[in-house]
């Protein structure tokens, strides 16, 4: 091997190692910067949901949640609603966004569409254990989902 060729290949090897180190560090920085911008994701069942917080409805007979959209995406606020296991509650779902949204719970046969600026009431029951997922049928794949869980 010519000495100069050897030097060149060493430089390439070092460059490749540096690239690998850069790409692994930048991929770990991605989720961290995402959560600091307030549009972090949580996993609900097998879905990824845009997380806009948790609220507790323990002891309440009605509770308002918002279906909304902004520059960060499509979401429910709160995204996680906790309450008494097995207890029924009336949710007042307000569409605070600029487009049609929907509130669906497959296991309860709930599928309600809400116009922008409107509110729809829906009776739901908290699970005894685990979670029940709710989602917007229009924006489910974009992370517009949430869950009822036991406080």
Q: Are 112 and 76 in contact (CB under 8 A)?
A: no
Site mask, Cu ion, residues 47-76, x = CB under 5 A?
---------------------------x--
Site for Cu ion in 71-130 (CB under 5 A): 74, 101
Q: Is 136 in the site for Cu ion (CB under 5 A)?
A: yes
Residue 150: CB minimum distance to Cu ion, A: 26
**Residue 72: CB minimum distance to Cu ion, A:** 13
Q: Shortest Cβ distance from residue 147 to Cu ion (Å)? A: 16
**Under the rule (CB under 5 A), what is the footprint of Cu ion?**
74, 101, 136, 138-139, 144
């Amino acid at each position: 091997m010519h000495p100069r060729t050897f030097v060149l290949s060493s430089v390439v090897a070092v460059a490749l190692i540096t690239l690998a180190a850069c790409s692994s560090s930048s991929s770990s920085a991605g989720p961290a910067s995402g959560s600091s911008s307030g549009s972090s994701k949580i996993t609900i069942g097998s879905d990824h949901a845009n997380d806009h917080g948790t609220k507790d409805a323990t002891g309440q007979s009605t509770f308002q949640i918002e279906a909304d959209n902004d520059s960060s995406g499509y979401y429910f606020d709160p995204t996680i609603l906790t309450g008494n296991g097995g207890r029924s509650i009336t949710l007042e779902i307000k569409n605070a966004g600029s487009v049609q949204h929907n509130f669906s719970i497959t296991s309860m046969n709930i599928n309600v569409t809400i116009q922008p600026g409107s509110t729809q009431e829906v009776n739901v029951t908290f699970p005894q254990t685990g979670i029940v997922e709710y989602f917007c049928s229009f924006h489910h794949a974009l992370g517009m989902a949430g869950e009822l869980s036991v406080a």
